[in-house]
Homo-oligomer: A and B are copies of this chain.
Amino acid sequence: MSTVPHYIMSKDNPQIKRVRALLQSSRERREAGAFVVEGVRLVEEALAAGRVATLFVCPELLTAHARSRVFLDDLRDDGDYALTHVTPDVFAAVADTDSPQGVVAVCLMPEEAALGPTATLAVLLDGVQDPGNAGMILRAAAAANADGVIFGPGSVDPYNPKVLRGAMGAHFRTALLNLRSESAVRACAGLLPQRVMAAAQDGARYDSVDWTQPTLLIVGAEAHGASDLGVSLQTAAASVPLARGVESLNVAMAAGVLLFEAVRQRSPDAAH
Interface of A with B (CB < 8 Å)? 132, 136, 139-140, 142-145, 166, 168, 170, 173, 205, 207-208, 240-243, 245-246, 249-250, 252-253, 256-257, 260-261, 263-265, 267, 269-272
Contact = CB atoms under 8 A, between A and B. Distances in A.
Given A207-B272, A272-B272, A139 B250 contact: yes
A139 B245 CA distance: 12
Contact of A264 (B143, B207, B245): B207
Stoichiometry, as copies per complex, reads 2
A47 to B, nearest CB: 14
A249 B205 contact: no
A246 B205 contact: no
Contacts of A245: 173
A256 B249 contact: yes
A56 B252 CA distance: 32
Nearest to A254: B256
B136 A243 contact: no
Given A207-B270, A207-B271, A264-B207, A143 B256 contact: no
A140 B255 CA distance: 13
Contacts of A272: 207, 265, 270, 272
Given A143-B243, A241-B263, A253-B253, 9 more contacts: A139-B249, A139-B253, A143-B240, A240-B260, A241-B267, A249-B256, A256-B257, A261-B264, A272-B272
